[in-house]
Amino acid sequence: MTVSRRGFLGAGGLALAGASMISGRTQAASLPEAPTMTEATMQPPLYPKSGPDYQPVVTLNGWTLPWRQNGDWKEFHLVAEPVVRELAPGMKAHLWGYNGQSPGPTIEAVEGDRVRIFVTNKLPENTAVHWHGQLLPNGMDGVGGLTQPHIPPGRTFVYEFILRKSGTFMYHPHSDEMVQMAMGMMGFFVVHPRDPAERRVDRDFVFLLNAFDIEAGSYVPNVNEMTDFNLWCWNSRVFPGIDHLVARQGDKVRVRFGNLTMTNHPIHMHGYDFKVTGTDGGWVPEGAAWPEVSVDVAVGQMRAFEFVADVPGDWAIHCHKSHHTMNAMGHDVRNYIGVNMKKTTPALKKIAPGYMPMGSNGMGEMGSMEMPLPDNTLPMMTGYGQFGPIEMGGMFSVVKVRPGLDANDYKDPGWYKHPEGTVAYEWTGEQLAEPARATSPDSGVTATEFRAKDPRKRPTRTAQGGGHGNH
């Protein structure tokens, strides 16, 4: 890990008026230093040292960007640059991000704050930053060519605006957006209420939903892909690389997330019902918050939900689109469920030594098989719990609720120790009677049988069934 915070305690003499380019030695010398982070593990909350009190957020597999106070301004420094991100142990991706990571660091501030955000471009092309959901002057909105000049490589621009409302926001490029977002450029932006007691919770987790198409053995995403992604991520991580959400029993917990993929995601949490308390437009009035166990988030939207962590255990949280809880899934794999591969396998092994038939009994067996893989890729199902393979991947994590944790303890507490008699078990008593089954309707029409034919052999009239064979 490399974190540099030198210069964040001092105050410079910088006074700038707009989203314009920074030039000249005097101005450049007064820029706040840009901290970087290269580890993919969740960092402890960054508590405010001055100003209004608030409960800081915890970013899954991420961190909060330090800032310095310069007069009335809170100053941050983002650096857009190429980064290397470990998606899960065994696979790394060459992405673009901010300050050493994809997604970039979370920005936290307070409603009413005057923020000054320096953006330095170390990419090979122009960029700009849009502050998604913020209410600000048009010239600070960050749409390259429309509201500002693009930021050229090697240059620094500055954005200045007042945070007019609290809530959950994001930042991402609006310059060659298709490429830059597909390469991982995005970050979270949280604005806390001015009143420390308003919307207060004990633990506040944030993450972004993003996706990549990275072929097995390669490192760079296919930026031209629009629908066929094979790695569904939370904060550019996939299970089993996604951090757990650790909560102390009795804590009030908030989970915030934003969707910057190409499709919607129904996020489902086990063991609890929760209240949806925040959307893109701000906080849901307390009397209007609605109960759910799954909440859908569309492209470009943000959601926040809250619950009291009163039931201990290891509770799954995941996207409920089943293919989004897979890793590196090949979409051209043939369906062999119900197919007898005993005769086919020996022939295939002659031309592909080491071939193993997979999928004839379903795909769950892949979760426990140790199969050789190409370099820099992941199995479709991976990760173990205390009872064996979890048979998941992608957008999946665990909410771990435990009694007796310290208020600032986010470390993995290990697997839950179930009280005796509270785990599902195998029945070994008397054989159960066969259950009654309803009879399915039957039209009496014989199902058509389709057979594979060798195109190199000329079919006979008999094989064609009088000239009307199946094709």
User: Which tokens sit at 52?
Assistant: 């209004």
User: Could you give the C-alpha distances from 268 to 272, 278, 281, 386, 397, in angstroms and in order?
Assistant: 10, 16, 22, 22, 11
Q: pLDDT tens, 257-288?
A: 999 999 999 999 999 999 999 998 999 999 99
Residue 25: pLDDT band (50, 70, 90) is very low
pTM summary value? 0.83
pLDDT score of 172 more than 80: yes
3-state helix, strand, coil split of the chain in percent (to 5) is: 10, 35, 60
User: Could you give the C-alpha distances from 270 to 81, 245, 323, in angstroms and in order?
Assistant: 38, 13, 18
CA 33 – CA 337 distance, rounded (Å): 57
What domains sit in the chain, N to C, each tagged with a CATH number? 21-315 (2.60.40.420)
Q: What angle do CA 81, 82, 86 make, to 5 degrees?
A: 125
Nearest to 97 by CA among 156, 10, 182: 182
The pLDDT assigned to 348 comes to: 63
Find how far residue 117's CA is from the centre of its chain: 25
Q: Which helix (H) or strand (E) holds 347?
A: helix 344-351
Instruction: Answer for the pair 422, 314: CB distance below 8 angstroms, yes or no.
Output: no
Instruction: Answer for the pair 33, 214: CB distance below 8 angstroms, yes or no.
Output: no
Neighbouring C-beta atoms of residue 265, cutoff 10 Å: 26
Instruction: DSSP for 355-390, please give it.
Output: ----BBTBSGGGGT------SS---SSEEEETTEEE
Q: Tell me the pLDDT of the chain averaged across its residues.
A: 87
Q: pLDDT tens, 223-236?
A: 999 988 999 999 99
Instruction: Answer for the pair 370, 381: CB distance below 8 angstroms, yes or no.
Output: no
Highest mean pLDDT among 6-15, 214-223, 249-258, 451-460: 249-258
For the stretch 347-383, what's the b/e string if a residue is b when 16 or more beta carbons lie within 10 angstroms of its beta carbon?
A: eeeeeeeeeeebbeeebeebbeeeeeeeebbbbbbbb
CA 170 – CA 158 distance, rounded (Å): 17
Q: pLDDT tens, 285-339?
A: 999 999 999 999 999 999 999 999 999 999 999 999 999 999 875 555 565 656 6
Instruction: DSSP for 200-237, please give it.
Output: --SEEEEEEEEEE---TT--S--TT-SS--SEEEETTB
The pLDDT assigned to 347 comes to: 73
CA 154 – CA 125 distance, rounded (Å): 9
DSSP E strands in 309-435: the ranges are 313-319, 382-385, 388-392, 396-402
Residue 3: pLDDT band (50, 70, 90) is very low
pLDDT score of 219 more than 60: yes
CA 269 – CA 44 distance, rounded (Å): 23
CA 288 – CA 84 distance, rounded (Å): 43
CA 61 – CA 81 distance, rounded (Å): 19
